[in-house]
Structure 1
Amino acid sequence: MKLLKYDEELFLKLVEKEGLAYRGKIEEIVDEICDKGYSNIFLIGAGGTIAMMYPYEYILKANSTIEVQAQIAAEFMVMNNRRFSEDSVCIFTSVSGTTEETVAAAKFCREKGATTIALVAEPNTPLTYAVDHCITTGSETHSFDTFFMLLHMVVFRFMHNKGEFPQYKKFIEEVALLPKAILNAVKAFDVKAEEFAIKHKDTDYHMMVGSGNLWGNTYSYAMCILEEMQWIHAKSIHAAEFFHGTLELVLEDTSVILLKGEDETRPLMDRVERFAEKITKQLTVIDTKDFEMEGISDEFRSHFSVNINWALLSRISVYLERERNHPLTLRRYYRQMAY
């Protein structure tokens, strides 16, 4: 089965072979920071990269006593956050390494004495020079798949060093199984991704609902893919807030997309699903529980839902691009004009 615009060998090379090889460097960086001591962690980004941080803010809040904040770079720069200090650890990601707000925030944090770490796809770009520690993956292709996996290593290493995650060794062994689990999930989902794109190529509005560690993916896909890359009206709604306003806009023909994961917030998604299936005939449920993660234990599946879910959504993007004859790279305004 050959997937449209998907090179399996390249995926495994970039994410499995090269991505997993950064484990040692990541552990060295985190261990050095922990030995020195720190007060809290700031996960800072803009657009898709702040959305990428939300899963890890959730994971830390739900599983650790480490103080953590996910902050939008531009707002962070002007808010005078009273929890931020020279003892803070600030983590950034960027595919291009040139995102203006992210680079500015990284420089700001470093100048204030905080310890800065970045994951960047493109080498020798402004962000790579603006931080104390940088992992440069070297390719924009499958960069989010790689970044998510590396952020697992970073966050859970901090938890392990604090004595809050003794399962770290087993966890990292299962992280190594993620690339093949992602590839198998993508293959299993591809027909449904194509069917969705064909069915909804002319749909002009989608509600996307998520929760827990999938809230970031929900927010990102609605904003960065549907709105920015496809010019489709979309709204991201947290399942816990769905019944405080948004439910009144669901009609028989409203497209509602539910991103279901496997963490503690799943019952919140179940509640939205029970409601939506009574009202709309355009309900789409993307549930990571439907996909086998070979060799991965039930204990860690919920954390890896982030990786699986994003890979599945990326297949929808490929087919939307084809069916709508709208390249994912096409923009009206973003980086096309000054604003």
Structure 2
Amino acid sequence: MENKAIVKNIMKHNNGKISNIYFTACGGSLVDMYPSYYFLQSEAEKVSTGWYTANEFVHVTPKKIGPHSIVFVCSHSGNTPEAVEAAKIAQEKGAFTIGLTFNPKAELLKYSDEKIIYEWGNEDEVVNNPMAIMLDITSQTLDELEGYGKLSEFADGFKRIDTIVTNALAQVQDRTKEFAKKYQNEPMFYILGSGASFGHTYGFAICSLMEMQWLDASPIHSGEYFHGPFEVTDKDKPYIVMESIGRTRPLDERAIKFLKKYGNKIEIVDAKELGLDLIDSSVAEYFNPILFYSVLCEYRAKLADLRNHSLDVRRYMGKVEY
């Protein structure tokens, strides 16, 4: 189903009387939701929003949840127990639930009023990934509810993003190989980012490095770097900075300036350098994480190759009872 049709179904719920939109998932799926949450936090004048890890949503369900609510629930497998339970609770409270999964037989779909089976694995078509799907639906829904005036710019951005990502992946091949050679023996990384990209700052740390490479990692918001974290900066600690395009770029630039003065191991992934400025400046910042996700996947893949540590190997996940 096209996203426009999904938005029409959303607007039929409760006769279009919608006052809040929530996002809940676990791990990488929760990270995929952050751009849409951030978009609503930034652009909505009346609609409230929330972003919850699913098990907390289950145990501390927002009292606002009800017939006037839309709840997005995402699980790649579609069977993550916490996500399934979150969808069930949201639906029981009268919310319109939107389930996103790669699995057409997912348990999650039993508790989803709107069922989205997304594509996966084709890095040349990121518009079909959950991050982009949710951002598209969310921007269209806000337009229906409040008259958000940048849909044409968003539509143009979605038309351009696949080409931008494809070109960026080609552009970073040599750089990612050099990164892996230089940092393959590092035990710890600090990841900086801001704005809509902070979700992926968190995601790259906990999923790509901690889960997939068994490396210590710490996500740091660029705006918070100077309020404690910068005290550990020295020439020996490696930093990866996602330099966004848009309103929070000055936060990233300030951190980069300091790191270049007092640090030595700094990898800057610059959205502007990678072509994101081809998207209209009024909406480009919301596309940062879509670009960063694909590009940082190249970084983790090259690191995994040189470390001889497959991205698919797990020590606990799916191995032991938890």
TM-score (norm 1): 0.88
| From 243, 252, 255, the counterpart of 2:235 | 252
* Mapping of residues 181-260 of structure 1, within 5 Å: 181-260=164-243
SS at match of 2:272: helix
For residues 125 and 58 of structure 1, the distance between their equivalents in structure 2, rounded to whole angstroms, comes to 27
Which structure 1 residue ranges, 5 or more long, are not aligned? 1-20
Question: Residue 22 of structure 2 aligns to which amino acid in structure 1?
Answer: F
1:244 positional shift: 2.0
* Mapping of residues 13-162 of structure 1, within 5 Å: 22-33=2-13, 35-65=15-45, 66-139=47-120, 142=123, 146-162=129-145
SS at match of 2:299: helix
For residues 282 and 165 of structure 1, the distance between their equivalents in structure 2, rounded to whole angstroms, comes to 42
For residues 334 and 107 of structure 1, the distance between their equivalents in structure 2, rounded to whole angstroms, comes to 24
For residues 2 and 244 of structure 2, the distance between their equivalents in structure 1, rounded to whole angstroms, comes to 27
- 1:136-162 deviations in whole A, cap 9, x for unaligned? 025455597611211121110112112
SS at match of 1:227: helix
Answer whether contact 2:188 2:216 (CA < 8 A) is retained: yes
For residues 14 and 136 of structure 2, the distance between their equivalents in structure 1, rounded to whole angstroms, comes to 14
For residues 106 and 159 of structure 1, the distance between their equivalents in structure 2, rounded to whole angstroms, comes to 22
1:217 positional shift: 0.4
- 1:301-339 deviations in whole A, cap 9, x for unaligned? 212112111111011121112111111111100111111
1:192 positional shift: 1.1
1:124 positional shift: 1.0
Answer whether contact 1:96 1:140 (CA < 8 A) is retained: no
Matched-pair identity in %: 27
- 1:276-315 deviations in whole A, cap 9, x for unaligned? 1111110111110102248632332212112111111011
Deviates more, 1:65-74 or 1:293-302: 293-302
1:111 positional shift: 1.5
1:30 positional shift: 3.3
Deviates more, 1:78-87 or 1:106-115: 78-87
Compared CA separation, residues 295 and 243, structure 1 to 2 (3 A): closer
1:191 positional shift: 1.6
Question: Residue 308 of structure 2 aligns to which amino acid in structure 1?
Answer: N
Match in the other structure for 2:146: 163
Compared CA separation, residues 241 and 293, structure 1 to 2 (3 A): closer
Determine if the alignment matches structure 1 residue 321 to structure 2 residue 304.
Answer: yes
Answer whether contact 1:34 1:161 (CA < 8 A) is retained: no
Match in the other structure for 2:269: 286
For residues 126 and 311 of structure 2, the distance between their equivalents in structure 1, rounded to whole angstroms, comes to 15
Match in the other structure for 1:334: 317
1:34 positional shift: 7.7
Compared CA separation, residues 121 and 275, structure 1 to 2 (3 A): same
Compared CA separation, residues 299 and 34, structure 1 to 2 (3 A): farther
For residues 29 and 320 of structure 1, the distance between their equivalents in structure 2, rounded to whole angstroms, comes to 43
For residues 69 and 136 of structure 1, the distance between their equivalents in structure 2, rounded to whole angstroms, comes to 23
Question: Residue 255 of structure 1 aligns to which amino acid in structure 2?
Answer: P
Compared CA separation, residues 280 and 34, structure 1 to 2 (3 A): farther
TM-score (norm 2): 0.93
- 1:157-205 deviations in whole A, cap 9, x for unaligned? 1121123422313421331221122111111112211211121111111
SS at match of 1:162: helix
1:57 positional shift: 1.6
* Aligned length in residues: 319
Match in the other structure for 1:13: none
